[in-house]
Structure 1
Amino acid sequence: MAKVAAYIDLNPVRAELVEDPAEYRFCGYAAAMGGQKEARDGYEQIYLGREWKEIIRSYRICLFGKGYYSKGVVGKDRGRVSAERLEQVMKRGGKLEMAEALRCRVRYFTDGMALGSAEFLKQLQADYGEWFPEQRKTCSAKMKGADWGELRVIRNLRVSPLA
């Protein structure tokens, strides 16, 4: 079933609309990466009994592997995943890079109020203190769901961006 899903999710890549199916918002994979429950349910049915992080890593490897290999038919090999891109996905064990994860979950740019380093957010709060309620003592919270490095948000969102 994972191969069937990958075949469908790779349609925008084969059509040369995008290099990564996650960039094509009308694809089930992009919807799942964006947090849409119904889309995630489909992948969870394929990988029964596994946690979402494990599911998406396994599926990314399957997806990019399938997207790399030739169909073996002249004229049918448009829009394939490059060897370099497949290698990146494999090296990371299917894990999203921070920039990819952020693109999938733009929610942090809006609901998180502001996104940046702890220093940046502290300065923002100092410069624009009237925007913040008095009870807000801390001005930055670690983001959940991935290795975001030093990125923080002002509002501590309870839901993981990749959950």
Structure 2
Amino acid sequence: MRTTAKARGMGDDLRRALVGIEAKTAAKVGAGWWDLREGPDGKVVSMQRKRKRILGEKGRDACYHVMSRTVGGEVFFDDVEKEALRKLIWKMARFSMVKVVTYAVMGNHFHVLAVVPDAEKTLEKFRQPGGEKLLLKHISCLYSLDAVQILENQLQTLRKRGEEKARKEIIERLLARMCDVSRFVNEVKVRFTRWYNRRHERKGTLWMERFKSVLIGSDAAMRSVALYIDLNPVRARLVDDPVNYRWCGWAEAEAGGSRRARRGICKAVHCAVDSWERGDGTARKLYREALAFVIAREARVGDRQGSTNDSALTRHLMRRTRYFSDSLVIGTRGFVEDAFRRYAGSFSDKRKTLASRIRVPDKRGRLQDENHFTMKNLVKDVWG
């Protein structure tokens, strides 16, 4: 993967700085990850948080664009910190069983486009006979051997005592951290904050409010958001081509040769996820050409104006937009309307339009595109 001169010169310093990110979590760090908490009545207190964001339909995989910014956007990451956050995103995605499509780690914020599998179907194997062994093996991607051994011993002790309810509660608390977009992003942010604060000898919060998320409901919308994310460093004028920016999914796939990043790009353009590694260059070609089209189009003088009847959102992807961060849901009309009905109680009962078309940047109309309806009818400062 191509790097900046500063990053190339880090060597041992970079490796030392990232020890805390790459190390497995020890048993003594947050040892209560499996301990039970009981209320005054002796019953186990549920640790599940109430969800308030728009989530995918139960029983189906869901795709989300998530982003989070540092406090006031005033904390800026250096190259080592960007690398640490990049590694942590992948590390927590593996533990959480989340499939990263692409990402971009910028100076004061990050984006991740990820597919979160249906929890019930995905986690069923851990609840079946032999599932406990599979679970212990799985969490070893995050926890040290000592921590995993302590957990295994505790589960065995509870089984011998006949305390099956307590044993299952421990397992369920672990499973609750998987296949969940909120838990995935929160763990990335919390772990990175600890590492960052130690590095800078600081205290307190690092991130501004809760992270934003948009539920993606069409293949075309997933592709558009993926391109938008990888174009972040170009919009910020850091590079002319995202392949030259180390901390984005396209650079990791194309320049870095990463198998996991290449699988994400294949997903973004709706090719078989293993097609790139099998030598099929279709996904690479489609994605590279789409990026090149947007960049070249932006470079042409006066070519930002688009026809209201143009069905392609691609032509506008070099513009900053709130549609990909504040619209709650983006996808086909049917997908957006179904999501609205599931969360109707969160909206005014006077609302009549459930799905809105995207406004074009020149404000003279809306895109006639059947794959990019939004739940929020954004009006103010929609395009940058």
* TM-score, length of structure 2 as denominator length: 0.21
**TM score, norm. by length of structure 1:** 0.38
Q: Larger strand proportion, structure 1 or 2?
A: 2
